[in-house]
Amino acid sequence: EILLTQSPATLSLSPGERATLSCVASQSFTGSYLAWYQQKPGLAPRLLIYDASDRATGIPDRFSGSGSGTDFTLTISSLEPEDFAVYYCQQYGVSPRTFGQGTRVEIK
């Protein structure tokens, strides 16, 4: 099973600042099959990024993903008030699909 380690656990930032979230895999997997999801309290996760760097439909371009192999990054270029949430990475290159433990982006 591939373990995904997200850091930091919590990111305290102000609106307008840049957020950089990390996701490191315990081993590399096929085809950069990594997704990022955003989750707000009481709601289902929302797909932001897939295949490491492709934005899902309707996702603003302030969200970007990068990386390959075992190291992946989600960047939010300028935080909007609605971006404060928990973010999860997920790999789907190897079964079982696994999630990272999440990074909470909170208002400083």
User: Footprint of other proteins on this chain (CB under 8 A)?
Assistant: 1, 31, 33, 35, 37, 39, 44-47, 50-51, 56-57, 88, 90, 92-93, 95-102
Nearer to other proteins by Cβ, of 34 and 79: the residue is: 34
Nearer to other proteins by Cβ, of 17 and 53: the residue is: 53
If we measure between CA atoms, which residue out of 89, 105, 103, 107 comes closest to residue 8? Answer: 103
Nearer to other proteins by Cβ, of 19 and 49: the residue is: 49
Q: Per the omega criterion (within 30 degrees of 0), is the bond before 81 cis?
A: no
User: Do β-strands 34-39 and 46-50 pair in parallel, antiparallel, or remain unpaired?
Assistant: antiparallel
The least distance separating other proteins from the CB of residue 88, rounded to whole angstroms, comes to 6
The least distance separating other proteins from the CB of residue 96, rounded to whole angstroms, comes to 4
The least distance separating other proteins from the CB of residue 81, rounded to whole angstroms, comes to 23
CA–CA separation, 93 and 28 (whole Å): 9
The least distance separating other proteins from the CB of residue 14, rounded to whole angstroms, comes to 25
If we measure between CA atoms, which residue out of 57, 72, 83 comes closest to residue 4? Answer: 72
User: Do β-strands 98-99 and 46-50 pair in parallel, antiparallel, or remain unpaired?
Assistant: unpaired
